[in-house]
Amino acid sequence: MNRVITALLLAPVALYLIFVAQPMVLLVAAALVASLCFWEYCGLAARHGLHCALPVGCAAGVLGFLIPPAEWRLLLVLTTLAVLLIQSRYANLSAVLPSTGALVLGILYVYAPWHYSLPLRERSAHWLFFALATGWIGDIAAYYTGTRLGRHRLAPRISPNKTWEGTLASLAAATLFAVVYLKATLDLSWTVGLPLGVVTNIAAQFGDLAESALKRGAGVKDSGSWLPGHGGWLDRLDTTLFTLPLVYLYVSRWY
């Protein structure tokens, strides 16, 4: 029940931000949500024995929303050098390399995908909604199908509760959504919507598994406890970290 209540509370906020909010409001919301996810990521890294310079990572990630995309590589280079110097101040020098790597990975893994939410919204709010909803709809289908009909485990070492039945239900539901939604809103043929839905949902499921692997390695079930029934923000948005850049790639190159 908590899962449903949380989803019902978040849904109108998400729809407002995607379709109605001014670009600056969306930017602030995306930066805030990404920062919460990054904070949870740093908590997972700490359980792996890795210290992330949280303020530096947050500053770099948020700055990425404010600068032109062409400057992102320079930002990443400067951030890496700054973190390397900061980490070198700690007594355990054997942790300098892995901790620096963990921080840079966190910026790329958590912040960078959400940087694409703004240019997607500029193209069309429907593209942003598609990138986010494809994973969420797949999640819903996988959860309810897997809990009722799931028999064959998908990746027991990473996520024991995920099943092939849930995975196939996720793929079917997300693909159907893609075909119908892209036709209704952007007048795209099913020959575009079908493969785009399949590829985007597969990416979303990989995003879910990737975060599950981080949690499994850290020995925790959820990345946080912000969202009752869902866990943390990273638990709720792990699929979007893979779908946002993928959909942006399609829109920027072929649409």
List all residues 6 or more positions away from 132 whose beta carbon is below 8 Å from its beta carbon.
14, 18, 240, 243, 244
| The pLDDT of residue 92 | 78
Q: Which residue has the tokens 């990416």?
A: 203
42-46, 105-109, 176-180, 223-227: segment of lowest average pLDDT: 223-227
**Dihedral pair phi/psi, residue 155, rounded to 5°:** -145, 75
Q: What is the pLDDT of residues 22-43, one digit of tens each?
A: 999 999 999 999 999 999 999 9
Given a contact cutoff of 8 angstroms between Cβ atoms, the answer to whether 57 and 38 are in contact is yes
Could you give the CA distance from residue 229 to residue 212 in angstroms, rounded to a whole number?
Answer: 16
Given a contact cutoff of 8 angstroms between Cβ atoms, the answer to whether 200 and 149 are in contact is no
Structural domain count of the chain:
1
Write out the residue range of the structural domain in which residue 218 sits: 2-254
Average pLDDT, integer, range 130-157 = 90
Residue 238 has pLDDT above 90, yes or no: yes
Task: Count Cα neighbours of 197 within 13 Å in the Cβ-side half-sphere.
Answer: 26
Q: What is the pLDDT of residues 209-229, one digit of tens each?
A: 999 999 999 999 889 888 887
| The pLDDT of residue 120 | 96
Return the CA Rg of the chain.
19
Place 91 in a pLDDT band, splitting at 50, 70 and 90.
Answer: low
Residue 74 C-alpha from the chain's centroid: 23
38: tokens are: 């990054």
Q: What is the pLDDT of residues 142-153, one digit of tens each?
A: 988 988 887 888
41-45, 87-91, 139-143, 224-228: segment of lowest average pLDDT: 87-91
